[in-house]
Amino acid sequence: MTTRIPRRATRVFYATESTTRTKSDGEVIRVAGREQRSTTFREARKFLDDLGVPGGVTLWTERSQQTNAYADRRADGTWVSLDRLTGNWVPLDKPEQGQA
């Protein structure tokens, strides 16, 4: 699924599938899989939910020109969000139908 990002977008969400690979020495490493850029968190979340895979969502902002962690989808399908004040990951409730 391709999402068109406006040229002057001030925020872009990157949803990235997390996969693992085993190196020749037996070490398991985490690598990125499929990725989608979105203008809303809802689109990014739907991308990972539709795939049914663990992954992460990062947010790029024009103002800071930085990309920061925003939320993670765990292997069991639950979502957690990063609390910027404490630095802890907290459960993220699924929005009700019709809400943002």
The number of domains in the chain is 1
In a domain, 95, yes or no: no
Give the span between the Cα atoms of 33 and 17, in whole angstroms. 5
Q: Flag whether 63 is in a domain.
A: yes
Provide the CB-side half-sphere exposure for 44 (13 A, CA): 26
Tens of pLDDT along the chain (100 residues) come to 556 677 788 899 999 998 878 888 988 887 778 889 999 999 999 999 999 988 999 999 989 989 999 999 998 999 999 898 998 999 987 655 544 4
Q: Is residue 100 part of a domain?
A: no
CA gap 99, 26 in Å, rounded: 45
| pLDDT value of position 2 | 56
Is residue 53 one of the residues assigned to a domain? Answer: yes
φ, ψ at 70 (rounded to 5°): -125, -50
What residue has token string 């947010």?
Answer: 59
Q: Does 50 map to a domain?
A: yes
Spatial contact of 55 and 30, defined as CB atoms under 8 Å apart: no
Which residue segment(s) compose the domain that 69 sits in? 11-82
Structural domain contains residue 38: yes
